[in-house]
Chains A and B, each alone.
Chain A
Amino acid sequence: AQSVTQPDIHITVSEGASLELRCNYSYGATPYLFWYVQSPGQGLQLLLKYFSGDTLVQGIKGFEAEFKRSQSSFNLRKPSVHWSDAAEYFCAVGVGDYKLSFGAGTTVTVRA
């Protein structure tokens, strides 16, 4: 069965520091992978996606993610976080018929 694991429930990072959020997936075929962000009281916004091709994907708000097939991972990174990056981050995998399976999410707290 397809699944997505986000090992870190909560991460606290200082403003200006780098951020990396982990995501591991289990899927039989070539995965379609996504990262979404959910700010407090907001809907989900797509940060970036990977379908094929270059394994380093650039997204919005300065985020990037790297697909590593050998590790079944799709980790999200940002070189320097801003206070506005405090939010919940969800990794998701496309599971066919345009449906998504989401990880449990990682809450990011940014301290001044």
Chain B
Amino acid sequence: SAVISQKPSRDICQRGTSLTIQCQVDSQVTMMFWYRQQPGQSLTLIATANQGSEATYESGFVIDKFPISRPNLTFSTLTVSNMSPEDSSIYLCSVDSAGSDEQFFGPGTRLTVL
């Protein structure tokens, strides 16, 4: 299994600002993903973070709003840009374990936008 850490664990931000969330894995992984869990909701996939190339976004999510970096096989960042209260959610990083279709999730970043 993979051990995943996320920073920050939580934050409270002002409308119009941006927040960058970091995801660090203790081993090299091929696939990294970013999910959003809005209050009382299920998880929705935002994008696949691709190492060495642009992220692949799901329908309804765009790079300008959620820029993603993946500089190497153990690290990724997700930025939530120009935040509004609707962006208040838990953001989770996940990784696929050696192409096994078994995903491991980070502890999440709880974001509140005022």
- B-contacting residues of A (Cβ < 8 Å)? 32, 34, 36, 42-46, 49, 51, 90, 94, 97-105
- A-contacting residues of B (Cβ < 8 Å)? 31, 33, 41-45, 48, 92, 94, 96, 99, 101-108
Q: Is the CB of A43 within 8 A of B31?
A: no
Known: A42-B107, A100-B103; 8 extra A-B contacts, CB below 8 A, are: A43-B106, A44-B105, A46-B104, A94-B101, A98-B96, A98-B101, A99-B33, A100-B94
Interface pairs (6), CB distance under 8 Å: A44-B105, A51-B101, A100-B43, A100-B103, A102-B44, A104-B42
Q: Which applies to chain B's interface (DSSP): helix, strand, loop or mixed?
A: strand
Contacts of A34 in B (CB 8 A): 102-103
Contacts of A90 in B (CB 8 A): 42-43
Q: A43-B92, A44-B92, A94-B101 are in contact. Are A99 and B107 (CB under 8 A)?
A: no
